[in-house]
Amino acid sequence: MGVHQYFKSLSDLEKLYRCPGKFKFQEHSVASHSFKVTKIAQFFGTVEEQAGNKVDWKSLYEKALNHDYNELFTGDIKTPVKYASKELRDLFSQVEEQMSKKFVLREFPKEFQSIYLERFKEGKDDTLEGKILSVADKVDLLYESFGEIQKGNPESLFQEIYEESLMTILEFKEMVSVQYFLKEILPDMLNEKFIEHSELNSITKKIIKANLSD
């Protein structure tokens, strides 16, 4: 009981793996996903600020850092379930909120309760910070699915996730940071050179030739 329970719960997020029930070459925990999303949001905020938009940094960091904390209570429920019916999704959100609220009221001393109730709320609203979070969350998902495709994961789910992530990012195409991403970052990701096993032969010969002729 108390803030200790909250600190201890952070470690549970290290044991909560994303996208359960599918073979992956590299697993990602909710803890490290949250880290990466916050770092990506930091970059997107920087781009917006340089373009002259006002960024509320305190709000942006709070949103990014805490955006999946509630999965502690519900787990990373499979996406198709969450969206199987609008009714379920709404009810699900309600339950999540109730459980989160109950946790805050039980574990946090009075003086911190309102602050943490606020922090654990859904952060993807219409503010600039909310929109950056929506995009950063999907950028990390895009990288996760790209990583699987690149390593040769035959599961078509990862192509679906890749496409779905990209389409969500494009919903925010009017944002300067999204335009930056599409123009400067995404092409580099797609241009990643692959090591072809078949090239090894010629590489090897070239190296041997160059070094034997010394």
Residues 143-172 that bind a copy of itself (CB under 8 A): 143, 146-147, 149-154, 156, 158-159, 162-163, 166-167, 170-171
Shortest distance, position 182 Cβ to a copy of itself, whole Å: 7
* Per-residue binder mask for a copy of itself (CB under 8 A), 50-79, x = binder: x------xx--xx--xx----xxxxxxxx-
Cα 94 from Cα 100, distance rounded (Å): 10
Map the footprint of a copy of itself across residues 185-214, applying CB under 8 A.
185-186, 188-190, 192-195, 197, 200-201, 203-204, 207-208, 211-212
Handedness of CA 138, 139, 143, 146 (dihedral sign): positive
Decide if residue 114 touches a copy of itself (CB under 8 A): no
Cα 71 from Cα 15, distance rounded (Å): 12
Shortest distance, position 126 Cβ to a copy of itself, whole Å: 19
What letter represents residue 107's amino acid?
A: E
Other C-beta atoms lying within 10 Å of the C-beta of residue 55: 19
- Number of chain residues interacting with a copy of itself (CB under 8 A): 108
Decide if residue 117 touches a copy of itself (CB under 8 A): no
Residue (126 or 192) nearer to a copy of itself, CB: 192
Residue of 11, 52, 54, 110 interacting with a copy of itself (CB under 8 A): 11
Decide if residue 86 touches a copy of itself (CB under 8 A): no
